[in-house]
Structure formats: structure tokens, C-alpha cells
Structure 1
Amino acid sequence: MRRFAVFILVIVVAYAIFIDISKGTLPEAQEKSDEQPAVTASTTETEPDAPFIEKEVKPGDTVLSIVEKENNGLENVPINVIVTDFSTLNAGLKPEDIKYGQVYKFPTYEHEN
């Protein structure tokens, strides 16, 4: 009986690993194919007054890392200002909701010397 229980356990674990590898269990892997762009351009929208750049997000990028790269470091700009500016430029999108492969607007800041 013990051998049969171990055999069943091995089969269940093998099946779980097979499903995980073949189909995946992360929601991003399943949503990627039918996903719509995060930011859609419209001719009726007006461009914001704040300076910004449009950039495609790569795997591992965060809003803060992209803004720091594009602005050569940010010593004088608080993180909450960056988050607020990003959300304003992208119709209320939270920084933690960005997805790689999509293009977003990132704020740029002038350096004071």
C-alpha cells in the first residue's frame, strides 16, 4: 500500500510540473497574446505641459530606473513627485502596473547647476 501511495504522489508531482512548464501559472504569460496597448493615442487629447519622453519598457525596468537613466540621476526630485508625474502622464496608471513591451510616457526633469 505504501508503494502505491508513493507512486500516486510521484504521478501527481510529475503532472503538476508538466502543467507548470507547458502552460505556465503566471497570469502575464497567459494575458500577453490578447493584451491591448496600455496607452492609446487619441487625436482629441491634448499633450501635457510637463516635459516627457516615450519609452518601451524592457523586462526588469521600473519607472524609477527608467527616469533615473533618462535624467542622468535624480538627486533633487523626490520619489513621490516622480510617481505622481508618471501617473498624470499615463492617465492615472500606477507605476507598479506597467508591463514590459508596452510604451509609456516618463517625466523628464531639468538639472539645476
Structure 2
Amino acid sequence: MKKRIFTILFLIACWTSYADLTSGSLPAGKTVATAVPNQIKERAAVPFQRITVAPGDTLLSITERISKKAPAIDTVINNFSILNPSVNPNHLKIGETYAFPCYN
């Protein structure tokens, strides 16, 4: 009898974990605001231009094309991450539009 109860509890725990991971634990339509005051200040300080990525484009090639001077790679990656917080700079998608930092 104990084995059945523990098996049922285990299955319920697995099912609820699966439901949380696939659909999320927040109710639909509700969003959670996260404060990032440092990034907002830096975002205003970084001039940018919105560009759609074409085949063969990289973060550095686009930045060099739209900028007059060539900045350090670390600076470009840091500023791109500030302008596009949810995007990995190493995995740009063709056809997507991103904000690229301009250095003039």
C-alpha cells in the first residue's frame, strides 16, 4: 500500500513539474517587470542603428560598415548586449532586425 501511495505522489510531482516547465507558472496575460536602471542609462548613451541581418553578416562586420571608427570587439559585444538584452551576439538570425551600436 505504501508503494502505491509513494508512486502516486511521485507521478503527481512529475506531472506538476512538467506542467510548470511547459506552460509556465505565471497566469496568462500577466507580465513581471524587472528593473534594470543601469542598462537604461547605458542604453541612452549608446547610439544605435536598426539593421536587418543578411546572409554572411556578423556583429563585427555590420558594426564596421555603419561606423566610422573601428572599436574594440569587447566594446561592441558589450554595447550590443545592452541594446538587445535577450539576444546572444554569437547567434544572429538571418532576416531578424537588431539594434547595432554606431561609433562615429
Q: Which residue of 1 aligns with 2:97?
A: 103
Q: Which residue of 1 aligns with 2:64?
A: 68
Name segments (4+ residues, structure 1) moved above 6 Å. Answer: none
Deviates more, 1:83-92 or 1:55-64: 83-92
Please give the TM-score of this superposition, normalised by the length of structure 2.
0.55
Partner Cα distance (1:97, 1:54) in 2? 17
Identity of aligned residues (%): 37
- Deviation per CA, 1:21-65: give whole Å up to 9, x if none: xxxxxxxxxxxxxxxxxxxxxxxxx79311100000000000000
Q: Which residue of 2 aligns with 1:10?
A: none
Specify every segment of 5 or more residues in structure 1 that has no aligned partner in the other structure, as ranges. 1-45
Q: Does 1:83 align with 2:65?
A: no
Specify every segment of 5 or more residues in structure 2 that has no aligned partner in the other structure, as ranges. 1-39
Give aligned pairs, total. Answer: 63
Please give the TM-score of this superposition, normalised by the length of structure 1.
0.51
Counterpart residue type for residue 57 of structure 1: V
Partner Cα distance (2:89, 2:50) in 1? 15
Counterpart residue type for residue 101 of structure 2: P
Aligned-partner SS, 1:99:
coil
